[in-house]
Amino acid sequence: MRYFGEHNFVGRRIDGYDAPVCLLTREAALALAQVQRELEPRGLGLKVFDCYRPARAVAHFIRWAQNVGDQSRKADFYPYVNKRSLFRDGYISARSGHSRGSTVDLTLIRLADGKEIDMGSPFDFFDRRSWRSDPSVPPDSIANRRLLAAVMQRRGFRGYDKEWWHFTLAREPFPDTYFDFPVR
C-alpha cells in the first residue's frame, strides 16, 4: 500500500494509514478476485497500490497541495505539472471515491517474477502520459493498459480517464458515503 510508506507524491506516510492493508467492500473484493483469476492463465496478476482511503488521508492531500512551497517529490510525481493546478486538472480531488471502499489503484505484474509490466508511466504520475488515451505512450504500454481496463470492465469496474491505474466498482454498495476510519 503506497500511502503507508514514504514513496508517494507527498513524501511521507499519509494520515489514516496505520498498516499496509488493502480494505475493500465485499463486492469490490470479490470482483477483484475474479479479475485475478482471469489474468492467471496469461501469466499475469495484480499489484495493488491503494484501496479504501480514509477521508482524513484526502484532507492530508489537500493540506499538502495548499503548501505550494513543498516541491520535494515534484521530479518523481509531477515534473511537468504546476502543483497549483493538481485539483483543477483532476489529479487530486477534495472527495475521493476511494473513501467509499470500492475503488482501487493497481497495475499488472508477471506472476513468474512479480515484476510490474510497462504501462507507459508510473503509478501516481500526474501527467498526460498517465491518461488512458495519451498517444505518446508506446504501443506495448497501450496494449497493457487496454488489457487491464478490459478485464476490470468485464468484472464490473469502470476506469478514470486521467489515471490508467484507477478503477471503481460500477455498482458500488456505498455510492454516497465517505468513510473515515483508519486502515489497520
In angstroms, the Cα distances linking 94 to 9, 31, 58, 117, 146 are: 16, 27, 7, 31, 28
CB 97 within 8 A of CB 103: yes
As a whole number of angstroms, the distance between CA 104 and CA 165 comes to 8
CB 108 within 8 A of CB 146: no
| Catalytic member of 38, 116, 163, 172 | 163
For residue 131, give the H/E element and its range.
none
Environment class of residue 82 by beta-carbon count within 10 Å: exposed (0-12), middle (13-18) or buried (19+)?
exposed
Q: Note the helical H segments in 21-138.
A: 26-39, 55-66, 74-77
Active-site annotation holds for 163: yes
Annotated catalytic sites, by residue?
A: 163
